[in-house]
Amino acid sequence: MPTTLFVNACMRGAQSRTLELCREYLAAKQDVVEVDLSALRLVPFDGAAAGHRYDLQKAGRWDDPVFDLAKQFSSADEIVVGAPYWDLSFPAALKTYIEHVSVCDITFHYTEQGQAEGICKAQTLTYITSCGGFVEGANFGYEYMCGIASMFGIPETRFVAAEGLDVVGMNVEDQMNKARSIIAKLNGR
Ligand SMILES: Cc1cc2nc3c(=O)[nH]c(=O)nc-3n(C[C@H](O)[C@H](O)[C@H](O)COP(=O)(O)O)c2cc1C
């Protein structure tokens, strides 16, 4: 059965409208594994931690828990990222997660010609967000994740957003419904 990895960067938990959309998208999936970034509280890599991880890589110590998130990401059949639009991109917890999964010889590797090549199994990365305003011209979080998908060898990225949710006078339910209709199309309904 295909596994879907849900990377949950919806920092407001049950109050999050992004999370509401993610749950609707995921309801059509069978085998969903969730990584809850607000619960996980990952720490960004500093020089010493990055150096230690590199030493483990060189020594072939792939059983070390520092590689667990990367292995989980690399072996999933589909990736779903849920992240609110914060400061023109996404919460820092998602960037920290990417630091943890971006590991040479797990999510990507170098060919004999020295080219980086993605080695993840997933064929799609679906990015779901919601925004106080509108992302047009400043969709930096999604664009960054498209770069990461390309680096990791994931050929297709898809974008869902509910926009304008904090605009005074906006019909929030209408905006959420527009995103729901995109979700329904992605799920083939
Ligand atoms: C820390 C923070 C930063 C935000 N930055 C932006 C922003 O740059 N642009 C914008 O349109 N909305 C911004 N917002 C509003 C959120 O994008 C909006 O409320 C979104 O729907 C929150 O998603 P959630 O309900 O899933 O938490 C920000 C909200 C917070 C809390």
Is the Cβ–Cβ distance between 42 and 93 less than 8 Å?
Answer: yes
Q: pLDDT tens digit string along 38-95?
A: 999 999 999 999 999 999 999 999 999 999 999 999 999 999 999 999 999 999 999 9
Atom 1 of ligand 1, residue of closest alpha carbon: 86
Pocket flag, ligand 1, residue 131 (CB < 6 Å): yes
Atom 23 of ligand 1, residue of closest alpha carbon: 84
Amino acid at 29: K
CA distances to 42, 56, 126, 175 from 79, rounded to whole Å, are 19, 26, 6, 24
pLDDT of residue 12: 98
pLDDT of residue 26: 98
Sequence-distant (≥ 6) Cβ neighbours of residue 117 within 8 angstroms? 108, 109, 110, 111, 153
Give the span between the Cα atoms of 18 and 129, in whole angstroms: 5
User: Which domains are delineated in the chain?
Assistant: 3-186 (3.40.50.360)
Is the pLDDT assigned to residue 2 strictly greater than 90? no
How many of the other CB atoms lie within 10 Å of CB of 17? Answer: 19
Is the Cβ–Cβ distance between 170 and 178 less than 8 Å?
Answer: no
Give the span between the Cα atoms of 9 and 35, in whole angstroms: 9
Pocket flag, ligand 1, residue 46 (CB < 6 Å): no
DSSP 167: S
Q: pLDDT tens digit string along 133-187?
A: 999 999 999 999 999 999 999 999 999 999 999 999 999 999 999 999 999 999 9
Q: Which atom of ligand 1 is nearest to the CA of 133?
A: 11
- Burial category of 170 from C-beta neighbours within 10 Å (exposed 0-12, middle 13-18, buried 19 and up): middle
